[in-house]
Amino acid sequence: MDTNGTLEHDGETEQTQKQPAFDNVDITSPDDENENDIFESAIQEPLSPVLEDVPTDEAGDTFIEIVVADPQKVGDGMGSYLAYKVSTKTNILKFKKRQFFTMRRFSDFLGLHDLLVSKYLRMGRIIPPAPEKNIIGTTKVRMGSQPQAEAGAGVNLEWIENRRASLERFLNRVAQHPVLCQDTDFVNFLESDQELPRAVNTAALSGAGVMRLFNKVGETVNKITYKMDENDPWFNDKISEVETIDAHMQKLHSAIKALVSHRKELATLTGGVAKSAALLSTCEEHTGLSQALSQLADVEEKVELLRSEQANSDLYILSETIKDYIGLFGAIKDVFHERVKVFQNWQHAQMQLTKKRENKAKLELQDRRDKLEFAQKEVEEWEGKVQRCQKEFDNISSEIKKEMERFELARARDFKSTIIKYLEDQMAHQQQQMRYWEAIVPVARDIA
């Protein structure tokens, strides 16, 4: 199915489980079992280019804008799914076109996230988290009687709007990363006119998902057995800072959720006042009082809508941003834990090298010349592995520092924009509410 389209412009073709502490790992393992497997990633790619190094087709700043819109139900029954229109505008040369769109399903987004994690987490790069699955919401859509949505109609369910906005933020966060934005799988996700291969690890109850859960439990147990001796105070300070901010953000998110619930309840109660005042005005014989009660009912009805809008502002502007950053701090913890695993590999290699050297020394004392050549090769092999692992550890440590610097700058800009937008929205609602109340005051004063 051809799901991609191209637009014309100016004549041109244009995935919350709390992450455990990450300072303990187990470096014990069989001496020779799977020795080579754990060192496959020991050779590191060059570190990230700066954002200015991303090639573009025009002078000026690099830009890429992604919009996720028009959720559409495809198919019927339990085999149905929601597809989203993903539109992109960019001047990055890695893309063949400057403006284009395609259709993607939710599992495609999760598959993209898994691909990015598999390629870049080991290098120390912070991968924006994918939106969470919603089994209940998905089942309701699949079993609902709503017909297939026509192009542009969308599906107007609250949780689907939350998901759509989360998917859009996920893609734009990836797009703002100077390396991830040029990744072949990311480019293909946005630009390809073909359906993507079905992601096999994204089902909520898949076997792969269960295995990942067991692996996480195993890692948690392993972390208890070994304490990493941190020689760089920057990491100790940053880990403590991340843990503290994450804990307070989770508390703030819970408080905002309670505020949203309170505003919605207040809006409902305000609507009840409006209905009661309207009923009272119809049976009131005093003309002036009846008119005042009628206008009071109108104002209360308008205020009900304003309070509902304020609840949406709390949710969509503030709460969702905080929720995103809770996920991002979880991704940061993943990166720090990955560094610990790289350190684990380095320590394991050093232990194996020591054993190989001791074995060679024993053979020399025993004058076992028939095995000395092989023992020497083993020593040289593990010396090379130790050097590669040390280089990987140095590289991931350096890359994490660069990533955290970039993350902190982006977080400051993001929160500044979010807070300003939230304050302006709240002030606009308050000013509108004042105008409503001021308009009814003269009516109340004219009651004879």
> Residue type for 125, please?
R
Helical pair 184-191 and 158-175, crossing angle rounded to 10 deg: 130
Mean pLDDT value of segment 89-93? 92
Structural tokens at position 415: 């929160």
- What pLDDT digit, counting tens, does each position of 241-280 carry? 999 999 999 999 999 999 999 999 999 999 999 999 999 9
CB 340 within 8 A of CB 293: no
- Distance CA(272)–CA(260), nearest Å, equals 19
- Distance CA(111)–CA(189), nearest Å, equals 10
- Distance CA(288)–CA(443), nearest Å, equals 8
- What pLDDT digit, counting tens, does each position of 334-359 carry? 999 999 999 999 999 999 999 999 99
- What pLDDT digit, counting tens, does each position of 16-36 carry? 444 444 444 444 444 444 444
DSSP letters, 125-185, are PPPPPPPPP-HHHHHHHHH--PPPPPTTT----HHHHHHHHHHHHHHHHHHTSTTGGG-HH
Mean pLDDT value of segment 297-306? 96
φ and ψ at 382, to 5 degrees?
Answer: -75, -25
Domain 62-145+153-198 in this protein, CATH class: alpha beta
> Residue type for 331, please?
A
CATH topology of domain 231-447: Substrate Binding Domain Of Dnak; Chain:A; Domain 2 (1.20.1270)
At residue 218 the predicted structure's pLDDT band, cuts being 50, 70 and 90, is: low
State residue 200's pLDDT score: 56
pLDDT at 194 over 70: yes
Average pLDDT along the chain: 81
CA 431 to chain centre: 35
Contacts of 132 (CB under 8 A, 6+ apart): 15, 16
State residue 63's pLDDT score: 87
pLDDT at 447 over 60: yes
| H or E element that contains 66 | strand 64-74
Contacts of 208 (CB under 8 A, 6+ apart): 200, 201
pLDDT at 9 over 70: no
| H or E element that contains 30 | none
CB 266 within 8 A of CB 236: no
Q: Of 242-251, 280-289, 386-395, where does mean pLDDT reach its minimum?
A: 280-289
Domains 62-145+153-198 and 231-447 share a fold: no
- Distance CA(241)–CA(245), nearest Å, equals 6
Structural tokens at position 402: 């660069």
Burial (CB count within 10 angstroms: exposed 0-12, middle 13-18, buried 19+), residue 426: middle
**% residues pLDDT > 70 (the chain):** 74
Structural tokens at position 32: 């020779």
φ and ψ at 68, to 5 degrees?
Answer: -110, 125
Q: Of 41-45, 169-173, 331-335, where does mean pLDDT reach its minimum?
A: 41-45
**CB hemisphere CA count around 261 (13 angstroms):** 6
- What pLDDT digit, counting tens, does each position of 116-157 carry? 999 999 999 999 999 887 655 555 555 555 434 443 343 446
Mean pLDDT value of segment 380-401? 96
pLDDT at 41 over 60: no
DSSP letters, 322-383, are HHHHHHHHHHHHHHHHHHHHHHHHHHHHHHHHHHHHHHHHHHHHTT-HHHHHHHHHHHHHHH
Structural tokens at position 97: 């076109």
At residue 10 the predicted structure's pLDDT band, cuts being 50, 70 and 90, is: very low
- Distance CA(166)–CA(323), nearest Å, equals 10
**Closest alpha carbon to 420 in 428, 431, 432, 410:** 428
What is the SS3 assignment for 254?
helix
Domain definitions of the chain by residue range:
62-145+153-198, 231-447
